[in-house]
Amino acid sequence: MSCSNSNVVKWVEQSVALLQPERVVWVDGSEAEYKGICDLLVEQGTFKRLNPEKYPNCFWCVSDPKDVARVEDRTFICSKSEADCGPTNHWRDPREMYDLLYSIIRGGMRGRTMYVVPYLMGPDGSPFSKVGFELTDSPYVVANMKIMARIGKVALKNLPDHSNDFVRGLHTIGQLDSEKRYICHFPEDNTIISINSNYGGNALQGKKCFALRIASCQARREGWLAEHMLILGITNPAGKKIYVTGAFPSACGKTNLAMLIPPKLYTDAGWKVETVGDDIAWLNFGSDGRLYAINPEAGFFGVAPGTSYATNPAAMDTIRANTIFTNTALDLDNMTPWWDRMTDQPPKRAKDWLNRDWTPASKDKPAHPNSRFTAPAGQCPTIAPEWETPNGVPISAIIFGGRRTKVAPLIYEAFNWQHGTYTGVTMCSETTAAAEGKVGQLRRDPMAMLPFIGYHAGDYFQHWLDIGQRAGAVLPRIYHVNWFRRNAAGEFMWPGYGDNMRVLEWIFDRVTAGKDAEKTALGFQPRPSDVRTAGLSISDSTMRELFEVRPEDWREELDSQSKFFETIGSKVPKALWQEHAALKQRLGLK
């Protein structure tokens, strides 16, 4: 395969001179090529083939034990001015970082193959899609990129011959030296360099590196939004369809909502929920002034533990073919993947994620808590037929949601875009037992983007506000949900999972029919009787408690918000401080 873009060719030649690979392979994205890469990984011992009857064309692998997750402390934004980076990122001077990285990787591909991976973020032919290139010496990365992005010829087709508008990416696994592990972003140069990691979030550069950190900077310059959001479509029995996006911090049900299967009483009546994307949304303005979203990815890079037919049947059906499983357990009797809570009964004998023999008598869990599956989005049973529509899907609502024991009610709607921006900026969750730190500790995660904003967080907040001031904009309504409120006994009051459809129905009716709502201190809320509870064992008093807003609970919350704003510094927009003061006044707090 050849590339006719001279800017790309020149950059690849310069990179070859730097890295000195034994040979260079341009990836064309064909199925035959993918088969060859997987065969090579099996031959090298990296992949093991799974049971072809139960998991056709699926593979199991384990990583280096020290390379199992994103490394935020080794992730850097290398902007020319430190003021453009901000307190939520690690900053390095770009010239100094280029010098350091090049000193580490110079000649680093000697004896290895360099794969040139052209990839397209977004649907083929979309005016909102963007092209990147990843030069890598990892066939594991090539195999995963085949699933996660549209790679090869389709990417080159979407890059004009003389364009210089593409993201340049260098990746080498090096020696997997954690002391020299760097995940670096150069926003002014549209460049990503990641070294000494083979983990997806660090090495699959189209994922968080391009689709969020670099794209958020592009979005700011070009007037759109690159967000850590799911996209789903909701169709009512009359056939009317809307699309919503949603941003949720870790462990708040994002993937389950993206692939939600409604309760039987809804499906019997003709309601339908479909998946457009599970993780990232790029939102651009259409000619009608509305925000249209595309899913820039082509696959799902999902957390395996906790995924089961009880929690997410659509995901389970998706991963039954053409999937790569990393750091799960391997059931040796069936040659199938396994992880905690996947089934009621664990395998009798298995290999764990450290490639050790494992039985139910072993003291350690066999799958790593961050073990992953990489699966094609197109084979998800709930995938929307419009998921690759070039112009995207029009967004009617944006949902924010955190994990809160109290304070936040089940649902409320922001008064307007500015208030909704404040709602997203102040979103937070309480840590669970699976997370580091004290259980129940608040962790602020504005728009679920805290680790992924490619520039100063205060400027990012202002960009959201500026989007709302665009002339002729027809903006989505903004909502906040909390599936995790508990009663005095510590029990969850709301059933969650598929029953979250009952809340989506209220949102649907608000944006399509202007359904009545009560104006409260927080925003517009349904009356408890406005959320359908047929078929649930939930009392009227519990429903009232789910919507209760207690000013004294919010006193502590508002103090916490103030402290968070102070960590961002002087760039916090005045409009957000005004919203903070207005909420305090509406709650009657001094």
pLDDT at 250: 84
In the prediction, which pLDDT does 1 show? 81
**How far is residue 584 from each of residues 149, 405, 579, measured CA to CA in Å?**
45, 21, 9
Q: Three-state SS for 385?
A: coil
| Nearest to 386, CA basis, from 191, 562, 126 | 126
Which H helix or E strand runs over 540? helix 540-546
- Burial (CB < 10 A; 0-12, 13-18, 19+), residue 22, is exposed
Residue 425: CA atoms inside 13 Å, Cβ hemisphere, count?
A: 28
Both tokens of 540, joined, read 């009227």
Written as six digits, the tokens of 488 are 């005095």
Average pLDDT over every residue of 399-422: 97
Q: What is the mean pLDDT of the segment spanning 551-565?
A: 96
Tell me if 349 sits within 8 A of 289, measured CB to CB. no
Each residue's pLDDT tens digit, 323-368 = 999 999 999 999 999 999 999 999 999 999 999 999 999 999 999 9
pLDDT of residue 436 exceeding 80: no
Q: CATH 3.90.228.20 region(s) of the chain?
A: 227-298+385-586
* pLDDT value of residue 440: 67
What is the residue-averaged pLDDT of the chain? 96
Residue 37: per-residue pLDDT: 98
pLDDT for position 439: 56
All CATH 3.40.449.10 domain ranges of the chain, comma separated, are 6-44+72-222
- 3-class secondary structure, 104: helix
Please measure the distance between the N-terminal and C-terminal CA atoms of the chain and give it in whole angstroms: 68
- 437 has pLDDT over 70: no
Provide, rounded to the nearest whole percent, the portion of the chain with pLDDT above 70: 98
How many Cα atoms are found within 13 Å in the side-chain-facing hemisphere of 191?
Answer: 17
| Confidence class for position 114, pLDDT limits 50, 70, 90 | very high
Report whether CATH 3.90.1660.10 matches the domain 227-298+385-586: no
> In which band, very low, low, confident or very high, does the pLDDT at 2 lie, cut at 50, 70 and 90?
confident
**Residues with a known catalytic role:** 252
Question: Which helix (H) or strand (E) segment is 377 a member of?
Answer: none
Beta bridge partners of 141: none
- At 252-267, the pLDDT tens digits run 889 999 999 999 999 9
Strand partners of residue 284: 292
Report the CATH fold assignment for 6-44+72-222: Phosphoenolpyruvate Carboxykinase; domain 1 (3.40.449)
Please determine, for residue 434, whether its predicted confidence score (pLDDT) is greater than 50. no
Q: Output the DSSP codes for 208-228.
A: IIIIIIIHHHHHHHHT-EEES
- Residue 54 CB neighbours (<10 A): 14
